[in-house]
Amino acid sequence: MTDVSQSPAELYRDLHRHPELAFQETRTAGIAAERLRSAGYDVVTGIGRTGVVGVLHNGDGPTVLLRADMDALPVREDTGLDYASEVDGVMHACGHDVHVACLVGAADRLVETRQEWSGTVVALFQPAEEGGGGAQAMIDDGLYEKVPVPDVVLGQHVGPAPAGAVGVHPGSAFAGANSLDVTLVGRGGHGSRPETTIDPVVLAAAVVLRLQTIVAREVAPQETAVVTVGRLHAGTTNNVIPDSATLGLTVRAFTEEVRVRILDAIERIVRAEAAASGAPAPLIEHVESFPVLVNDVPGAERIEAAFRAAFGDAAVLDPGQVSGSEDVGLLATAAGAPLVYWILGGADTPSYLAAAAAGTLDRDVPSNHSPHFAPVIEPTLTRGVEALVTAARAWLAPAR
Decide: residue 223, CB within 10 A, 0-12 exposed, 13-18 middle, 19+ buried: middle
List CB contacts of 159: < 8 A, sequence separation 6 or more. Answer: 95, 319, 322, 324, 343, 344, 345, 346, 367, 368
From the CB of 350, what's the least distance to a copy of itself, in Å? 20
Annotated binding-site residue? 157: yes
| DSSP label of 76 | -
72 vs 394 by CB, closer to a copy of itself: 72
Q: Counting contacts by CB under 8 A, is residue 344 touching a copy of itself?
A: no
If we measure between CA atoms, which residue out of 67, 69, 59, 57 comes closest to residue 15? 69
The number of angstroms, rounded, from the C-alpha of 87 to the middle of its chain's C-alpha atoms is: 20
129 vs 151 by CB, closer to a copy of itself: 129
57 vs 76 by CB, closer to a copy of itself: 76
Q: Which stretch binds a copy of itself (CB under 8 A): 35-43, 57-65, 101-109, 224-232?
A: 224-232
Encoded one letter per residue, x for contact with a copy of itself by CB under 8 A and - for no contact, window 68-87 reads -----xxx--x---------
Site for a copy of itself in 16-55 (CB under 8 A): none
Contact predicate 155/102, CB 8 Å: no
Q: Which stretch binds a copy of itself (CB under 8 A): 32-40, 273-281, 297-305, 327-335?
A: 273-281
Site for a copy of itself in 124-163 (CB under 8 A): 130-131
Q: Read off the amino acid at residue 368.
A: N
Site for a copy of itself in 275-334 (CB under 8 A): 275-278, 287, 320-325
CA angle 311, 56, 15 (to 5 degrees): 65
Q: Counting contacts by CB under 8 A, is residue 242 touching a copy of itself?
A: yes
Phi-psi region of 278 (alpha: psi -120 to 50; beta: other; left: phi over 0): left
CA distance 106 to 122: 11
Q: What are phi and psi of 157, to 5 degrees?
A: -130, 130
Q: Counting contacts by CB under 8 A, is residue 230 touching a copy of itself?
A: yes
Q: Counting contacts by CB under 8 A, is residue 268 touching a copy of itself?
A: yes
Size of the site for a copy of itself (CB under 8 A): 99
From the CB of 86, what's the least distance to a copy of itself, in Å? 18
3-state secondary structure of 179: strand
| DSSP label of 221 | T
Q: Which stretch binds a copy of itself (CB under 8 A): 7-15, 51-59, 238-246, 299-307?
A: 238-246
Instruction: Figure out which of the listed residues 32, 225, 339, 355 binds a copy of itself, where binding follows CB under 8 A.
Output: 225
Contact predicate 227/251, CB 8 Å: yes
Q: Counting contacts by CB under 8 A, is residue 165 touching a copy of itself?
A: no
Encoded one letter per residue, x for contact with a copy of itself by CB under 8 A and - for no contact, window 358-397 reads -x-xxx--xxxxxx--------------------------
Annotated binding site: 94, 96, 130, 157, 369
